Amino acid sequence: MNVIPPLQITDARLTSTTVVETAPAAYNAGTTYALAATASVAGAAGLLTVYRSLQASNTGNAPASSPLWWVAIGDTYQVYDAGATYALGDMVIDPIAHLVYESLVAGNIGQALTNAAKWLELGPTNPWAMFDTLRNTATSVPGSLTVVLTPGRRVDALALLAVVADSVTVTMMNGLEEVYSYTASLIYRDVSGWYDYFFRPFSRQPSIALFNLPPYTEGVITVTLTAATGSVQCGACVIGSAEFIGRVEAEAESDVLNFSTVSRDFAGGTSAVVQRRNVPKTIQRILVDKSRVNRIRAVRDQLAATPAVYAGISNGVDGYFEALLILGFYKRFSISLRHPQHAIASLELEEI
């Protein structure tokens, strides 16, 4: 069992991202755009779609209908303007706090975003959704996603969860020297016979956990996710210094909290079914070396009510890897000291 207490990603640590937060100027049919120039096109309720020019001398080609001239690189929303009037349901962003808000009233003008009667906070902006430790908020962009992180301190582990992509590449630079590189395809297929080999559809591996990054103080980490078609998505990106708790014993359990509801009539028939999210949870017993007990107790105190990545198995190709991978918090973390040379930790984890 390895646990990654997350290092908070700040503006200083997110060196760069290919995900647009603040939209460029609106497209103008009379402007000549250079290769790689960007422009935005307004949609409903404050939505802005950002396009990148595919050619030089790009004039008079409407982005939404000119795929040879433009490619969409992502969506965002208008930046909040205290002097503008917003309709009910309009979306805005605060690029300083990196948050999205929805107007709760019509004729919304001059009302601070902190006014809960006028604005509803929806969560982080698209570039920052992958850093908020919630799987139900995700960064999503067409084609590919690249982020560069400068932790400013030693880290040796990285986890990506709720990923939708074909491949992943993680590199670390220490100055001008590349000190780490990892590339993997995320496309796989469960095959148990010839029929599966020929007809079973391919799937995508949804999580990656790396525990072998070299702990350079000045290390710069680049993460790239790519997809041949459709959008790339990342629900969570966590970096930090991993702590090894111990070896997970047999008979671990993977379970869920089921928030769906089923209503029945007087005869026991089903009258209404409301499907809601399942929240993963696990129960694990972990063999802990006696010499590590005090350190594990300190980790337990550090992670009280704090989300972290818990990986019961570090090998990403193991069949139990996903079942024992949780981004969440512990509900129970007891340490039995009945044995003279080792302890047994009982860990109940619940996804955030």
Same domain flag for 106 and 156:
no
Query: Are residue 132 and residue 240 in the same domain, yes or no?
Result: yes
CA-based torsion, 67, 73, 74, 75: positive or negative: negative
Query: What amino acid is encoded at 28 in this protein?
Result: N
pLDDT at 21 over 90: yes
Given a cut of 80, whether residue 71 has pLDDT beyond it is yes
Tally of domains within the chain: 3
**Low-confidence winner among 188-202, 209-223, 231-245 (lowest mean pLDDT):** 188-202
Per-residue pLDDT band at 288 (split at 50, 70, 90): very high
Same domain, 210 and 225: yes
pLDDT score recorded for residue 136: 73
- Return mean pLDDT, the chain: 93
Residue where one domain finishes, among candidates 126, 157, 180: 126
pLDDT digits (tens, 9 = 90+) for 220-249: 999 999 998 889 999 999 999 999 999 999
Same domain, 269 and 345: yes
The owner of tokens 């148990």 is 192
Q: How confident is the model at residue 337 (pLDDT cuts 50, 70, 90)?
A: very high
What's the pLDDT score for residue 318? 83
Are 7 and 141 within one domain?
Answer: yes
pLDDT at 271 over 90: no
Residue 273 has pLDDT above 90, yes or no: no
pLDDT tens per residue across span 118-141: 999 999 999 999 998 876 789 999
If asked whether residues 25 and 9 sit together in one domain, one would say no
Query: What separation in angstroms does the CA of 196 have from each of 190, 191, 205, 206, 281?
Result: 7, 5, 18, 21, 30
Which of 71-75, 186-190, 328-332 has the lowest average pLDDT?
186-190
* pLDDT at res. 135: 65
Shared domain check, 11 and 39? no
Band of pLDDT at residue 9, cut at 50, 70 and 90: very high
User: Cα–Cα distance between 33 and 62 in angstroms, integer?
Assistant: 12
Contact indicator for 181, 171 with CB cutoff of 8 Å: yes
Residue 291, classed as helix, strand or coil, is helix
At residue 191, does pLDDT exceed 80? no
Note down the domain range covering 311: 247-351
The CA distances from residue 228 to 166, 203, 236, in Å, are: 7, 14, 21
The torsion defined by the Cα of 108, 109, 114 and 117, in degrees rounded to 10, comes to -30
Q: Last residue of a domain, which of 95, 126, 157?
A: 126
Same domain, 172 and 304: no
- Each residue's pLDDT tens digit, 26-47: 999 999 999 999 999 999 999 9
Lowest mean pLDDT among 15-29, 54-68, 167-181, 260-274: 260-274
Q: Distance between CA 223 and CA 225 in Å, rounded? A: 7
pLDDT tens, residue by residue, 46-57:
999 999 999 999
Structure-model confidence comparison of residues 316 and 140, the more confident one: 140
Do 238 and 289 lie in a common domain? Answer: no
Does the pLDDT value for residue 310 go beyond 70?
Answer: yes
Same domain flag for 333 and 233: no
- Pair (56, 204) in one structural domain: no
CATH number, domain containing residue 143: 2.60.120.260
Last residue of one domain, picked from the residues 244, 260, 277? 244
The amino acid that residue 20 corresponds to is: V
Tell me, yes or no, whether 139 and 96 share the same domain: no
